[in-house]
Structures are given as C-alpha cells and as structure tokens.
Amino acid sequence: MKKYISLITALLTTFGAMAGTAYAESDPAESILSSMTLRDKAAQMMIASFRVWQEVPAEGEEKPEKEPPKENITKLNDPIREMIGRNHFGGILLFAENYTDAEQTIQLVSDMKETNRKGGGTPQIFFTDQEGGSINRISYSTTGISNMALGATGDAENARKMAQIHGVELALLGIQADFAPVVDINNNAANPVIGIRSFSDDPQAAATFGCAYMDGLHDTGTMAALKHFPGHGNTNTDSHTGLPLINSTYEELQAFELIPFKAAIDAGADMVMTAHIQYPQIEKGTYTSISTGEQIYLPATMSKTILTGILRGDLGFDGVIISDALDMAAVAENFSVEDTVRLTIEAGVDMLILPAVKNTNLFRLTDTYVDTAVKLVESGEISEERINESVRRILRLKQKYGLLDQNDFTAAEGQTAAAKAGIGSAAHRETEWQIAEKALTLLKNENGAFPLDVKAGEKTLILFADSCASRAGAGDLARKLLQEKQALPEGAEITVLKNTRGNGAACIQAAKKADHVILVHRVWQQDCMDPAAENGFSSGTFDRLISAVHAAGKTVILVSCQLPYDAARFPEADAILLTYWGSAMRELPAEGAA
C-alpha cells in the first residue's frame, strides 16, 4: 500500500510541476470568483454526467420506426466536447458506462479536462461512486468488500485500508473525489437500497468506521463525500424509484442518524451528499407533485431547515453540500426543473448532480439546468450572492486539493503504465482478500458441520437459490481451485446446481444423495425470504431440503451472500456463514480477472 501511495504522491508532484501559475494571487478562489460570468458561476454549481449516447427525436419530432442505437460514452464526441467547452461545469461524474480500461479512462478524463481548460473553465472535480461491495463503478479495479463486511471485521483500520486502495486507484486515473463513505445506519430491515452499504445498525460503529474510511481516502489525496444526509437507513422506499418519508423527529435523528455525520464533520469532512427523503416532523414545507397532484413535503435536498439550519447551523458544516442525483424518481417525478433548481439552491445545496445523459434529449436537458439557474438569478428569484456563497466554497475545496494550480491536463508521462500496474494489482487484491476473510462470520456451527470433512469418494452439493443464481460461477470456481490444489480426496465430487421454479424436487433429491450440502442464499429485500413471493420461492425449497437432509442423518451449511437476514430465516441449518455480499459470477472468470 505504501508503494502505491508514494506512486500517487510522485504523480501529483509531476502534475504540480507541469502546472503553471495561472492563479498566483494571494486569494486565488476570490480572484477567480470575481472574474466569473453569471453563467460560469451557475455551471460551477453543476456536476454533469455523460453515460450513454443515443440520438433521439426532440419533443414534437416524429419518432423513428426503430429504436436508435446506443453507445456507451468512453470517449468525447463533438457535441459533448462543445458543451464542456461552453459550460464550465464544476464537476463531472463518471459511471460504469464510462470505463473500459485504464488507458481509455485516463484519455477520457484528460480530454474532458483539456476541453474545459481550452474553453476557459476552472479545473473540474471528477467524481465517481466507488463504495466497494455492490456499488463499484470501475470493472477493472479492486472491487472492495461491502461496508457491512468491513463493520463485521470489528476493526476500523480495515475500512481505512480498503478506502486507501480505492483512493490510490482513483487517483491513478485522474479522479479526485469519491462519493463515499455511506454513513447511513442500517436500522430498517425493509430498506431496499442501503443494507450492506451501511457499516452497522449501531450509530457509534457507523461513526467509527465511516471516519476511518474517510481518513483512508484523505490519505491518498482523494476527496470524500458523506452520504446520504440526514440519513437514508430508516426507509422502506428507494429514492431512485419513489419518494421516501421518515417520520423521525429532530431529537430522534440527533440521538441516532446524525451521530456518524457529526463525527465525520468534526473529523474534517469536505463534502456531504443530501437525501431525497421527506421528514415531515422537521420540514413542514410542501409542494404539489407534478405527476400526482398530491401535496408532498419538501425532501431534505430542498429543505433549508435541514441543510442550512441543521447541517450548517447545528452541525457546523462549512464544506460543500452536494445533492443526490436529480434524475432519481423522488425528484424527477415530483418537481419541475425550474423548481428543482430554485429549491435546492435556496435550501443550501452547492453542487447539483444533473440528470445523467443517456440520450440527446437528456443532453439538451443539461443545458436547460444551467440556463434555468441563470434565469432565476436574473429574475431575482435567487440572489447572486447566494450563488457566490456556493461557488466560493467549491473554489476553496479545489484550492485545498491543488486543482487551481493546474493548467496542463495531458496525461503525465508514465501515468498509463502506473495505472495498469496499480489498479487491481495483486497487492491490492491480496489486501482485499485478507479483509474479506476477517469479515466472514460463522454465526452458528453445530453437529460438526463446519468445516467440511470430505472423505474419498464422497459427494458435495453446492446449491444456489434463485435469488443468487448469478453467483453460481463461484461454486464452479471453488471446485476448480480445489482440483488445481489437489485438495479433494480421491474420487470426491462437487456438484453445483441452481434452484429454479421447476427443479425444486430434483434439488432435494440431489441433496439427499449427497454426503455434504452447502446452500447459498441471497437476500436484498424481504421478498427473498417469502416462499410465496416472486423473489423468494427458493426459501421454500430450502426449508424442505433441510428437513430431508436432517431426516437422512446429514448436516447442512447455509451461506448468506448479501444481507444476513436469512440467518434468522433458516435457523435449522447446522452451520450458518455470513459473507455480506458477493459479486455476480455466472461463469469461471478469465485469467487475471477479479
């Protein structure tokens, strides 16, 4: 790890040496602010995202018979180049569609930075979501284990080490900011979106691990953003698909959800991301939904009470407040573009994550957001001084991390080679593996079930529930590795099966014939445990299978591969092993892959 942190330091030093002294004034941020046009300031508050290019007709134009082709944006095209050169966005957010390999990513980032510079823009902040676990945008990077798994190790230093790996790998690509850590508390089992992204259901543990993770990013010169303020853990609705509501009082938040945010703010947090969640006990302001006509409460992203009063006033945060993505259903289906811009800025948001470009209509919408902000200031609905407050914070954050000292964004000599050597390196993956092993929790172990004592000629069944059928390649990989290491006794066999709606009886018969049975189950929502639900039918098969195997005098091991709630669902299993997430592995990985 020290080797790669040193490598990043050397690269950043190189960038600094290449940089000119365009902003040599005693207060660069204030000097730049005074020279900005109103449109420059408005765009500085915007984080643009270009994910997919698809030519679609504008509103009112005739639709083609065939759907136009789609192409992931892995390099700049002329329209995007023109937009970046004209709109001096404060930041760019990269998603999975933008990443192919290290060389391509470095070129894309470099081209975007150079285009912005040539257009007269202030250096941008490049963001991505690299939380580890299920939220991992860069396919060729070190994936990292989930926050819940990090919490399960019981040692916050593991969170710091994992974050250092993420920070090193992002910096090698020229990405300066990570939308992490998630410091939400996992205090609602019905939550469909946080779950293993949370360190703990205990606020003090979430605070300790969240601060350690933030420190790990800072160790590598990477900006961190706490999310999702004031807490997304206690919801049963995903703000990507609906508008959640939490009925907690401010006093209840202070005693619980706000504890990790306060700890991280006191420890030097630079950025906080908002939550698109209604808190009617705190924010009484309402709005008429544009889609339903119903009165809804202003979500935290648009609440001056929550962002300016609580986050800035009570918690003392003076860094950059970033909205969650504004194309999430919680916002996009309820608020007009004009009101979205007005309400978020008035509430205290400094940077708005614009709807991701997935077609040319959304590309045009990016311009609309900037135009709308300018119009609202010109009409007096938002004061220019309010805009200045945000831009000043953004520029000071850029100044703190050395961005204002840079004016040459061509890839540094050796950057691609360093990135190829450092990203997903053997050293990083070994550290990841060691932390993952520490996270494994043997919750129950009776009747000598674990570890397996496989004898010559014995058969072992590994059965994957339908909810984790995409993980079945891991069973094939286990068999392959055991064979390669000659760890299986002579004649011992491993059979890997996936449970489907039609093969439940066959799976039970296979289990009865096997000498050892391992069941792999996955929960990401409550339905996964309900035999009557679309996502839960395997749990009924598992119930019958466990009974049948016990009747035959044999034992069953249950492996939980996401949320550990299935540990309570199958109490009759002889051994229960919790892993807190596993990535999809439909088939054996290619040589060198994660």
Q: Give the residue from 141, 26, 24, 147 showing the smallest Cα distance to 419.
A: 141
The CA-CA-CA angle for residues 10, 16, 132, to 5°, reads 55
Q: Is 458 helix (H, G, I), strand (E, B) or coil?
A: coil
**DSSP annotation of 382:** S
Give the 3-state secondary structure of residue 79.
helix
Q: Which of 40, 184, 270, 324 is catalytic?
A: 324
- Buried b / exposed e across 143-159, counting CB within 10 Å, b at 16+? bbbbbbbbbbbebbebb
User: What is the SS3 assignment for 503?
Assistant: coil
Name every residue whose Cβ is closer than 8 Å to that of residue 546 and which is 6 or more positions away in sequence. Answer: 519, 556, 570, 572, 573
User: What is the torsional sign of CA 394, 399, 402, 403?
Assistant: positive
- What's the longest Cα–Cα distance across the chain? 82
Q: Which residues contact 286 (CB under 8 A, 6 or more apart)?
A: 295, 296, 297, 298
Write the burial class of residue 521 (CB in 10 Å: 0-12 exposed, 13-18 middle, 19+ buried): buried
DSSP 128-194: E-EEETTEE--TTS-----HHHHHHTS-HHHHHHHHHHHHHHHHHHT--EE---B------TT-SSS
Beta strands in 286-378 (DSSP E): 286-288, 295-297, 320-322, 352-353
Four-residue CA torsion sign, 261, 262, 267, 269: positive
Helix ranges, 236-334 (H): 250-254, 258-266, 304, 329-332
Distance CA 275, CA 198 (A): 15
240 belongs to the catalytic site: yes
Query: Catalytic residue at 101?
Result: no
**Could you say which of 240, 371, 527, 543 is catalytic?**
240
In sequence order, what are the residues at sequence separation of 6 or more whose Cβ sits closer than 8 angstroms to the Cβ of residue 553?
Answer: none
- Pull the structure tokens for residue 164: 């250092």
Please give the structure tokens belonging to residue 48: 């643009």
The β-bridge relationship of strands 295-297 and 286-288 is: antiparallel
Strands 71-72 and 52-53: antiparallel
Cα separations in angstroms, 332 against 112, 208, 305, 352? 27, 34, 22, 13
Cα 235 → chain centroid: 18
User: Annotated catalytic sites, by residue?
Assistant: 240, 324
